[in-house]
Amino acid sequence: MHTLPLLVEPDALEPLLAKPDLLIVDLCQTNNYTEAHVPGAVHLEYANLLLGTKPAPGLLPDAARLSATLSAIGLTPDKHVVAYDVEGGGRACRFIWTLDALGHPASSLLNGGLFTWANEGHPLSQQPVTPAPSNYSASISDRVVATRDYIVKHLSDAQVALLDARTPEEYNGSSVRAARGGHIPGAVNLNWLDTIDKTRNYRLLPDDVLRTLVTDRGLRDDQEIITYCQTHHRSAHSYVMLRHLGFDKAKGYPGAWAEWGNSPDTPVEL
């Protein structure tokens, strides 16, 4: 298995495209995949990573459904996954977080996704890839998964912090996308878009800039930091960003604001 970093650059990936122990996974829309994708990449429908039912569509599907999804793309425990999309990395990062929740040993995010790959002259393909199905057995652990009850229990725990990856308007309650607006008490706000460098093909900002953004909000690497947004799409990107910076206790809350804001008995701050 390759020892690629969590955040991999196109120049490092291109020489490895034909390696059999590498599985490149495209999480773009189907039409984007058809138009152009990284050679050898298999396509994965993003909806298959979500439970998809209201009020909390971002919750994880059960292990049986995840097993079927990952078997269909030919994933095996010995393969190193490289994930990408064409919308800033949220979908790809949700896949990486899901793999972490299943204990899959190795995965990477293509920094900038298809933007960097295509705009910097790397090869593209229109040839669809039909993977040989595998027999992947998914088992969900709570190592990187935070539930609503877990968060409620730890709201006063100084070693547990909350990072809200939504817009400032969602955070302060002026934009309401659930029964109630606002944020989870004690959460700090870092809009996921503010961690992306659009001038460098949607890569993450440089590490020193990212770390300043995080630490200026009072977050520490000895804390367990739980990220959330509306459905744990944007906040999955924040989760991977934290992991990349060495915040090894990061978790994601897949119920996210869709669950919290629609629950009548959870506390809310504006």
Last residue of some domain: 82, 103, 119?
A: 119
Q: Which of 22, 73, 92, 229 is catalytic?
A: 229
Q: Is residue 136 part of a domain?
A: no
Are 123 and 39 in contact by the 8 Å Cβ rule? The answer is yes
- Annotated catalytic residue 93: no
Sign of CA dihedral 34, 37, 40, 44: negative
Q: Is residue 127 part of a domain?
A: no
Together in a domain, 104 and 198: no
pTM confidence score? 0.97
**Whole domain around residue 205: which residue ranges?**
148-260
Together in a domain, 11 and 91: yes
- Residues contacting 125, CB < 8 A, separation 6+: 36, 37, 38, 39, 40, 41
Which mean pLDDT values do the consecutive 10-residue runs of the chain (270 residues) have?
87 96 97 97 98 97 98 97 97 98 97 97 97 97 97 98 98 97 98 97 98 98 98 98 98 98 97
- Residue 209, domain CATH: 3.40.250.10
pLDDT of 3 reads 78
Q: Based on the structure, what is the number of domains in the chain?
A: 2
